[in-house]
Amino acid sequence: MTRIVFLDRSTIGPSVTLSKPSFPHEWIDYDRTRPDQVVDRLTGADIAVCNKVPIRRDSIERLPGLKMICIPATGYDAFDIEACRERGIVVSNIRGYAVHTVPEHAFALIFALRRNLVGFRQDVINGNWQKAAQFCFFTHPIHDLADSTLGIFGEGALGQGVARIGQALGMRILFAAHKGVSGLGPLYTPFDEVLETADVISLHCPLMPATRNMIAAPEFAKMKKKPLLINCARGGLVNEADLVDALDKGQISGAGFDCLTTEPPAPDNPMLKVLDRPNVIVTPHVAWASDEAMQTLWDQLILNIDNFHAGKPSNRIV
């Protein structure tokens, strides 16, 4: 009987109806798994379901019976893809499930920061409105999104979803060319030009060697319009120490992040030092996690497993 082991069940919310594959199988759940527990828990398993627990070459070499890794997410940087390819292990991910939830979360951050909702809310909590001599007060700047410029890094389904919302709001949309790459065609705006002209920058690209620290001190120095910087993609795309420095220097007007380089964040993460600022919002990697999106994700994951068992793997990375 096929043995399926889910290494980090707690990464799927309690609202999801967890259907199971249609064929006879043994299913084992672990809420969390440390890296040093991977081999022990996957010994004898045919299929590993794993969201963020790293499965590297040294583990793969000690798991001769492993035939598939099924990822309940789109990103796969936690897994040694080349080692899986060498071993003939099928790796499947989830696609297209977050086309509404991530763009909506990105714009929730954009609206909150562009209109300074956090700062004004705190002012009311602090009693400033009650003490005001008139019906309103102006302690924070407020800017419209209409007629502003939205620079999007990443032209996939999520970037396109953000673009559609931006267009509906009357924003000018720029898709940034890949850093250091030219000749991508007229649909792309040069990387540096987007940095220089955007009022809002939103990141929706994968984390890979070419994109790690894609935005750091040199890039912040080019941001002439002091944009908002939004990251609902992957921690590691932005150098976080340089981000805090850019906030201190006024090179950007605010930051809305749903992901950090290490998750959960280490105590020395520089972003933790600026959480009380009204122009900084950090959410705990939940942009993907609407109830509707998580259910779609799970249904697709089970379909991937069923298709693999039927000899027709779907959503293959390897």
Close Cβ partners of 290 (under 8 Å, ≥ 6 residues apart)? 100, 101, 104
Task: Tell me the sheet residues that pair with 25.
Answer: 2
Q: Is 277 a catalytic residue?
A: no
Please confirm, yes or no, whether 263 is among the known catalytic residues.
Answer: yes
Output phi, psi for 55, to 5 deg: -120, 100
Q: Kindly state the helix (H) or strand (E) to which residue 107 belongs, with its residue range.
A: helix 101-114
As a whole number of angstroms, the distance between CA 232 and CA 234 comes to: 7
Choose, from 105, 114, 204, 285, the residue flagged as catalytic: 285
Q: Which is catalytic among the residues 155, 234, 240, 309? A: 234
Q: How far apart are CA 209 and CA 214, in angstroms?
A: 9
Catalytic residue among 86, 263, 292, 316: 263
Q: Tell me if 43 sits within 8 A of 66, measured CB to CB.
A: no
How far apart CA 201 and CA 229 sit, in angstroms, is 5
- Residue whose C-alpha is closest to residue 113's, from 256, 14, 8, 234: 256
Question: Does residue 285 have an active-site annotation?
Answer: yes
The number of helices, as runs of H, and strands, as runs of E, in the chain is 11, 11
| Angstrom distance (rounded) from CA 131 to CA 135 | 10
State the catalytic residues: 234, 263, 285
